[in-house]
Amino acid sequence: WKSIRDLLFCDEMTLDELNGLMVLLACRGICKSPDFAKIVPPRDRTRHEQVLSYAVENLQAYLPSLASLKLESYQHLGPVVDILKEFNFAQFLQGENNPHSVFLLQNGLSNQGEKVLKMCLLSQVCILCGVTGTVTLKGSLFLNEANGRCLVRALHALQQIHELDPHAVYWKYIQSRAEALNLPVMTPAHMVQARLACLTRCVDQQRAMKVQDDWLQLT
């Protein structure tokens, strides 16, 4: 948890910014309600993030917590939601998306400050913490030690999004996952196996070796 906090620079965010982000996450949950989504025009409700974006811009009257935010709390929420629409961090974490998704994130951040990136990543981490919220509220079943280590590697990779090209960011993350599982990363075929390990949710060496064995049988 300390590594995650340090990577997201949580201590550098003001109380108003953190408050705004928590309100945004609460609104995101409300926007998943089919009844609430009916308020939104059909063209803006094909995805949850679209509903959230429309609500942040136009439906403050229906969301008192959002309407009562100070300017410092509110001003970054629109850009954060725009990035959430384009980049799915959970898919990046599992290797499900591709370098083009990283490009979309990079492009979305081109006119935004570092603050927006930090708030966006923090919101995604909070969302992952609540993945099993319907099962238990005693901690996070999903974000355990094994998945938490993968999360830290993903945050490490995305911190360099302003310095590296999208392909480098993406494959650097995949490589870090492979190295953590003691998989080789010397050839393109090795990188394919590394991505397969991510796609099949391998977080321990035993499962990774099973994926490697299955790959060798195919080839």
Q: Which amino acid is at 2?
A: K
- The pLDDT, as a whole number, for residue 154 is 92
CB 183 within 8 A of CB 193: yes
User: pLDDT tens across 181-206, in order?
Assistant: 888 889 998 899 999 999 988 888 88
> 169 pLDDT exceeds 90?
yes
CB 7 within 8 A of CB 156: yes
Q: Could you tell me what percent of the chain has a pLDDT over 90?
A: 25
> 92 pLDDT exceeds 90?
yes
Which pair of structure tokens corresponds to residue 172? Answer: 């650097």
- Which residues are CB-contacts of 200 (< 8 A; sequence separation ≥ 6)? 207, 211
**pTM score over 0.95:** no
- The pLDDT, as a whole number, for residue 212 is 83
Burial-class residue 182 by CB neighbours within 10 Å (0-12, 13-18, 19+): exposed
CA dihedral over 169, 6, 71, 45, signed as positive or negative: positive
Which pair of structure tokens corresponds to residue 50? Answer: 């679209």
Kind and range of the H or E element at 19?
helix 15-30
- Which residues are CB-contacts of 49 (< 8 A; sequence separation ≥ 6)? 81, 84, 85
> 145 pLDDT exceeds 70?
yes
- The pLDDT, as a whole number, for residue 67 is 87
> 112 pLDDT exceeds 80?
no
